[in-house]
Amino acid sequence: MTSHTVYRLVDRNSFRDIKPFEEPIPTINHNEVLVRIRAVALNYRDLIIADGTYPFPSKDQVIPCSDGAGEVVKVGNTVSSVKEGDHVIANFNLAHLYGFQADHSQAQGAGADGVLRQYAVFREEALAIVPKSANLSFPQMASIVCTGVTAWNAFYGNVPLKPGQTVLFQGTGGVSMTGLQIAKAAGAVTIITSSSDNKLKSAKGQYGADYTINYRTTPNWAAEANKITNGRGVDFILDNGGSGTLKQSLDAIAPGGIITIIGFLSPASQADMPDVAMMALAKCCIIRGVLVGPKPFLNELVTFVAQKQVQLPVDKVFGFSTEEIYSAYEYLKQGGHVGKVCINVS
Ligand SMILES: NC(=O)c1ccc[n+]([C@@H]2O[C@H](COP(=O)([O-])OP(=O)(O)OC[C@H]3O[C@@H](n4cnc5c(N)ncnc54)[C@H](OP(=O)(O)O)[C@@H]3O)[C@@H](O)[C@H]2O)c1
């Protein structure tokens, strides 16, 4: 086989602008690795890159999606850290090897080509090996990449999460449900919010959340979180709403706690913004933005996932035909999922 199927985003109106192409299988240099992609995990980001509303740069004709898992089929002659047959995932941003993400041009699926294709070439330093002992499917491995590392960054990128501390997750999407599985394995007490009682039932019954709050029927969910924590507040909040949820997050955070700003699903008008400075001062809390995380976080998370046998929360897996890919994007867009939406490439 000399050619493979590659999807590219040919315009910016919707995910239906993702079109298939037959292209030569790429060749490798001495320090590169050829990976046969086996599964892809979708993110909310992939929807907004496709419809042109993503707030970061994205190149023309980009190959979509940042989260891929596959097996190594060929290595260059100076590659020493991976070998043929290894199961691997690549860091979200291929150039983010340490520190903070400053260069968006190497973020997969936007500034750089992503993984919605059958074969991809990576430099060896971008790859982490997922040990077979982790007992994960390829869709689960792919689910580690963006939302997993983002949650890991929220817990360990600043003041580290300690067993017994309380973590609150907003909504039941990819970031929250992946974070929930990690936080539980790390010994945290977990609170999750959702607009849907059914989703909360699943978050508790199937995924083990300790406490649940419906943020639609209980818009002052901070008061409920304070009640759950006997008035102390929550130690860590993974904030997916952004400016529109920050007031509640500040009301719910414990003194000295960390609110990690991750998403921007619920923007607030300037007039509705809380007095962030005064509220942060009063709580002595940290409000910290994260952009996924550097490669060492991917390595740490993979080690943790394998050791703790964390099962990444895959909601549904679609096929690799164009219609199946559109169905996967549509399913994510409809928002009925709890956890990750994935695509089986082969
Ligand atoms: N900064 C980073 O590095 C980073 C990394 C990954 C993702 N993100 C961002 O994080 C956000 C979530 O991403 P995702 O992949 O988890 O998306 P997703 O899987 O599409 O999940 C979205 C979920 O968020 C919940 N939600 C929506 N509005 C909410 C609100 N006002 N309050 C609480 N929950 C709300 C909903 O949960 P219910 O249906 O249960 O109500 C919805 O299903 C997006 O904005 C994404 O761009 C940022």
Contacts of 201 (CB under 8 A, 6+ apart): none
First to last CA, the chain: 15
Name the residue ranges covered by the structural domains of the chain.
Answer: 3-146+293-344, 158-289
Is pLDDT of 327 > 90? yes
**Which segments of the chain does DSSP mark as H helices, in order?**
44-50, 138-142, 149-156, 174-185, 197-205, 221-228, 246-252, 276-283, 295-308, 322-334
Q: Is the CB of 335 under 6 A from ligand 1?
A: yes
- Residues of the chain with pLDDT > 70, as a percent, come to 100
Which is it for the CA torsion 163, 164, 168, 171, positive or negative?
positive
Task: Return the C-alpha torsion angle 206, 264, 13, 41, nearest 10.
Answer: -30
Is pLDDT of 103 > 90? no
Classify 272 as helix, strand or coil.
Answer: helix
CATH architecture observed for domain 3-146+293-344: Alpha-Beta Complex (3.90)
Strands 189-194 and 87-90, how do they pair?
unpaired
338 Cα–ligand 1 center, Å: 11
> How distant, in Å, are the alpha carbons of 44, 174, 246 from that of 249?
21, 19, 5
Structure confidence at residue 183 as a pLDDT band (50, 70, 90): very high
pLDDT at 86: 98
Q: Whose CA is nearest to atom 18 of ligand 1?
A: 173
Which is it for the CA torsion 274, 338, 65, 80, positive or negative?
positive
Q: Is the CB of 169 under 6 A from ligand 1?
A: no
Contacts of 340 (CB under 8 A, 6+ apart): 41, 42, 139, 143, 147, 174, 177, 178, 312, 313, 314, 315
Q: Is the CB of 171 under 6 A from ligand 1?
A: yes
Q: Is the CB of 43 under 6 A from ligand 1?
A: yes
Q: Is the CB of 340 under 6 A from ligand 1?
A: no
Q: Is the CB of 157 under 6 A from ligand 1?
A: no
pLDDT at 346: 85
Q: Is the CB of 150 under 6 A from ligand 1?
A: yes
Tell me the best of 40, 42, 44 to mutate to test the pocket of ligand 1, counting ligand atoms within 8 Å of each CB and taking the most. 44
Q: Is the CB of 177 under 6 A from ligand 1?
A: no
Mean pLDDT of 205-221: 98
Question: How far from chain centre, in Å, is Cα 132?
Answer: 22
Residue 324 near residue 148 (C-beta atoms within 8 A) = no
**For all residues of the chain together, what is the average pLDDT?**
97
237 Cα–ligand 1 center, Å: 13
Per the listing, tokens 């999750």 go with: 192
Round the CA-based radius of gyration of the chain to a whole number and report it: 20
> How distant, in Å, are the alpha carbons of 103, 114, 189, 256 from that of 283?
33, 41, 21, 6
Q: Whose CA is nearest to atom 11 of ligand 1?
A: 263
Mean pLDDT of 136-151: 98
Q: Is the CB of 48 under 6 A from ligand 1?
A: no
Q: Do domains 3-146+293-344 and 158-289 have the same CATH topology?
A: no
Give CA–CA dist 194/72, Å, rounded: 39
Contacts of 281 (CB under 8 A, 6+ apart): none
**pLDDT per position as a tens digit, 16-75:** 999 999 999 999 999 999 999 999 999 999 999 999 999 999 999 999 999 999 999 999
> How distant, in Å, are the alpha carbons of 3, 198, 343 from that of 322?
17, 31, 11
Contacts of 19 (CB under 8 A, 6+ apart): 7, 8, 10, 322
pLDDT at 58: 95
264 Cα–ligand 1 center, Å: 8
pLDDT at 154: 98
Classify 2 as helix, strand or coil.
Answer: coil
Q: Is the CB of 109 under 6 A from ligand 1?
A: no
Mean pLDDT of 178-188: 98
172 Cα–ligand 1 center, Å: 8
Class of domain 158-289: alpha beta
Which of 191, 148, 143, 89 has its CA nearest to residue 332? 143
Specify the DSSP class assigned to residue 27.
P
